[in-house]
């Protein structure tokens, strides 16, 4: 698959089977991430690969965050439900890769560029997943950025989990993609 075809045909695949994914395949996906452009070659990414019972770590973090956000006053049954729901979410795919930005602290490095590099790494990974015939969805949201998520994965306060890639064999047919033409969002500045 050429890169233009991969870009145009990649879709978020939120429903996958629990069929295991070979470690070599996961390593290929991770390596693709490391080839993202990154200013000053800081390589500001950190990957957390979770499979099998390793996904419980994510489920526990999501559960703790859900309980914290719910505040006090939940009875034991409601707490158990939130915790169980979080674990179910973490196990939606056989492999989940957490991708964090770990910004380098140097005066010559702009922190926002570190985020851009990690987002580019995630796109490389998603395109590789697609090219390998697998499916993935990039899940983000408030729990990613919660201090308890940093704590669960041993990240510093200045680091951020930028999302979780849920990867597996597709168990759905993706909708056809639609985009507005670039011309509508392009300004040509010429002499």
Average pLDDT of span 143-163: 98
Q: Answer yes or no: is 35 a known binding residue.
A: no
Dihedral, CA of residue 45, residue 46, residue 47 and residue 53, to nearest 10 = -160
Q: Could you report the per-residue pLDDT of 63-77, keeping only the tens digit for each?
A: 999 999 988 778 889
Average pLDDT of span 34-52: 98
- The pTM for the full model equals 0.96
Q: Could you report the per-residue pLDDT of 11-22, keeping only the tens digit for each?
A: 999 999 999 999
Q: Answer yes or no: is 11 a known binding residue.
A: yes
Which of 3.40.109.10, 1.25.40.10, 1.10.274.10, 3.10.310.50 is the CATH number of 13-51+92-172? Answer: 3.40.109.10
Q: Answer yes or no: is 51 a known binding residue.
A: no
Q: How far, CA to CA in Å, does 163 sit from each of 46, 69, 173? A: 11, 19, 23
Instruction: Please give the pLDDT value at position 74.
Output: 86
Q: Answer yes or no: is 156 a known binding residue.
A: no
Q: Which letter does DSSP use for residue 7 in this model?
A: H
162, 64, 53, 153: which is closest to 118 by C-alpha? 162
Q: Answer yes or no: is 106 a known binding residue.
A: no
Q: Answer yes or no: is 139 a known binding residue.
A: yes
**CA-to-CA distance for 139 and 44, rounded, in angstroms?**
20
Q: How far, CA to CA in Å, does 21 sit from each of 43, 115, 174, 177? A: 26, 28, 20, 26
Q: Could you report the per-residue pLDDT of 99-122, keeping only the tens digit for each?
A: 999 999 999 999 999 999 999 999
Q: Answer yes or no: is 138 a known binding residue.
A: yes
**CA-to-CA distance for 88 and 144, rounded, in angstroms?**
17
Instruction: Please give the pLDDT value at position 72.
Output: 78
């Amino acid at each position: 698959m050429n890169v233009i075809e991969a870009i145009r045909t990649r879709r978020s695949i939120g429903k996958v089977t629990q069929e295991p994914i070979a470690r070599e395949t996961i390593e290929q996906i991770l390596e693709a991430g490391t080839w993202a452009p990154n200013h000053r070659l800081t390589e500001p990414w950190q990957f957390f690969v979770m499979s099998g019972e390793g996904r419980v770590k994510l489920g526990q973090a999501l559960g703790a965050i859900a309980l914290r956000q719910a505040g006090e006053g939940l009875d034991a049954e409601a707490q158990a439900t939130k915790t169980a729901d979080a674990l179910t979410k973490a196990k939606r795919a056989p492999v989940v890769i957490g991708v964090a930005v770990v910004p380098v602290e140097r005066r010559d490095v702009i922190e926002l560029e570190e985020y851009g590099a990690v987002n580019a790494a995630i796109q490389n990974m998603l395109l590789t997943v697609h090219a390998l015939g697998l499916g993935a969805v990039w899940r983000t949201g408030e729990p990613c950025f919660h201090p308890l998520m940093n704590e669960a994965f041993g990240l510093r306060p200045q680091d951020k989990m930028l999302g979780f890639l849920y990867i597996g064999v597709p168990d759905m047919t993706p909708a056809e993609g639609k985009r507005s033409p670039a011309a509508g969002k392009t300004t040509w500045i010429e002499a």
